[in-house]
Amino acid sequence: MKIFIDSADLEEIKKYLKMGLCQGVTTNPTICLKCGVKGGIEGVKKRTIEIADLIYPYPVSAEVTSDKVEEIIKQAREYSKWADNVAIKVTITDREGKSLLPAIYQLTKEGISINVTAMTTFNQAILAARALKSARDETRRKPRYSFISIFGGRISEEQGVERAFKVIKSVREWLDLHKFEGIEIIVGSVRSPENVEYWARTGAHILTIPPHVLLKCFLGARTKETVLQFLTDAQKAMKELEEK
């Protein structure tokens, strides 16, 4: 299982790269704003390119800002030119619930890496996977990445963590059963260390985790106390060894 950092903060990303805990990055305009990015689309472009260079060959996801098929295709074509390791985030439906698979299918056929996002059901995920696989099978220019993002946190809020676990696990089993190679599940909307622990056991290929949640994953009820005891005992032992 891989970990993607849900951030546009270069220093945060560098920190987790140095730990070996970053195999990709996910962003959106809201994340960019929170991380101090300015300058509209040009600012987002600049930051996305900086992240792409920093983490290469790992992927960075950039999000389109429209739910109209023609505009999605136009934006995605432009964004995909920013770097070879950019994947374009496209929601599974528009704001009225109409499928955006026509855009997803067309862009994937063009060899553009797509991250189908905002999914909360098994049916949405397998239909997105089917569209991605059909497009990948029909093109000679296979995209570098094809992701389906299931929002575990949002499912949990409405239907409980057990339901979220079942949806994610069932999608992974379905992909494996039908040999849908080259398509990876991202679990997004991760809210807590408990989410990480729970969904890491679903078989999802990737968890995308905000830095503040990842930081909490290092904490344990008695870890600091144990480390202090280790150091105190070691120093005491060394002192006694020197006296002998």
Dihedral angle of Cα 126, 130, 131, 132, to the nearest 10 degrees: 100
What would the two tokens of residue 206 be?
Answer: 């990737």
Mean pLDDT of the chain: 96
- Please give the backbone phi and psi of residue 209, each rounded to the nearest 5 degrees, phi first: -125, 130
Categorize the per-residue pLDDT at 221 as very low, low, confident or very high, splitting at 50, 70 and 90: confident
Q: What CATH number matches the domain at 2-243, 3.20.20.70, 3.30.70.3040, 3.40.50.150, 3.40.30.110? A: 3.20.20.70
Write out the catalytic residue numbers: 89
Whether 10 has a pLDDT exceeding 90, the answer reads: yes
pLDDT tens per residue across span 94-107: 999 999 999 999 99
Q: Rounded to whole angstroms, how far apart are CA atoms 26 and 15? A: 16
How confident is the model at residue 197, as a pLDDT?
Answer: 95
What would the two tokens of residue 61 be?
Answer: 């996801």
pLDDT tens per residue across span 188-199: 999 999 999 999
Dihedral angle of Cα 91, 96, 101, 103, to the nearest 10 degrees: -80
pLDDT tens per residue across span 197-215: 999 999 999 999 999 999 9
How confident is the model at residue 136, as a pLDDT?
Answer: 97
All structural domains of the chain with their residue ranges? 2-243
pLDDT tens per residue across span 109-145: 999 999 999 999 999 999 999 999 999 999 988 999 9
The kind and range of the H/E element at 179 are: none
Q: What pTM did the predictor assign?
A: 0.94
Q: Rounded to whole angstroms, how far apart are CA atoms 27 and 63? A: 7
What would the two tokens of residue 203 be?
Answer: 């078989």
- Please give the backbone phi and psi of residue 133, each rounded to the nearest 5 degrees, phi first: -65, -40
